[in-house]
Amino acid sequence: MTTTRECTWTAAHHARADGQTRGRRIVVTGATGTIGRRVARLLIADHDVWSLNRDPQRAARSGTAGRHIGVDLSDRPAVKEALAGADALLVITFDPVEPRHDRNLVEAAQAAGIAHVVKVSALAVTDPGSDDLVTRWQRECEALWCASGLAPTLLRPRVYMSNCLGWAPSIRAGGSVDVLDGTSPNACVDPSDVAAAAAAVLREPVPHAGRAYALTGPQPLTAREQVEVLADTLQQSLRIRYLTPTQAMENWRARYPEPLAQALLERAERQRSGVKATVEEGVRTLTGRAPGAFRAWAERHATYFRTTPAAPADVQRDRG
């Protein structure tokens, strides 16, 4: 189901949120990441956007919009200070071995009396058979927000199309792509659509309070089909090298802690069951338009696969 009523929504909270929707102070966490950076850019013309991250200088260099506030989400007093006076909050957290981040944000949002929260989670939380570390953490975070009394809007995207940017170095080096499984489908979503959905909710929060939305692309694609689209877009022959689970784990261990590497393997194995192929209508519901296709995403990002980009590419984050 695209939208469900997930969290408590009180009349008192409705009164706080149902006011002036322009010129509000909106705090964005994960502001230098794939989604947060885009949301800040979409809202800055009409709102006072505060972008939270550990390194405000990096945020400024990356072109993140808004006022840059240096905050470590593990620091409760600093988080509370950063959220004081805010009207709305976009929550994007990344660390499944650090549950304090969402907990600190919940407490600070409650103390500030924030009228509306948008929490970016993942669609895997709705799959009863998905029980890896990352999914458990995302469920726990959702539960914290739903118990907060703030009636957040939960956005649950499928895996981001931008994860394919992880193939860019090997494509530039020799035209090869390493995949663990090339045949199981995933209804991957354009990060720009997730950002547009989040911005739409933050602009008009009341109809979406306490609801959850599943965000996917317009069709499920396998890794092999994604590579074929990239090859056609780049007008280049690409080779696929199929990894064994052991080889995939070696690659992930080089980049992530062991618990996270293991979770990525479990998520990949879960995809083989076909549970990630379902197309949902959340993007259309929230933005009023169809979600973007992978080919359109590939055409916009072709330069990253041809030459080393001068500016940072999308931050790659695995999603449900």
- Region 11-33 average pLDDT: 67
pLDDT tens by residue, 51-93:
998 876 776 666 677 788 889 999 999 999 999 999 999 999 9
For 241, the 3-state DSSP assignment is strand
Q: pTM of the prediction? A: 0.91
> What's the chain's average pLDDT?
89
What is the percent of the chain with per-residue pLDDT over 70, rounded to a whole number?
88
Q: Are 83 and 107 in contact (CB under 8 A)?
A: no
Q: Which range, of 55-59, 79-83, 208-212, 218-222, averages the lowest pLDDT?
A: 55-59
Torsions phi, psi of 61, nearest 5?
Answer: -65, -35
Q: Are 276 and 214 in contact (CB under 8 A)?
A: no
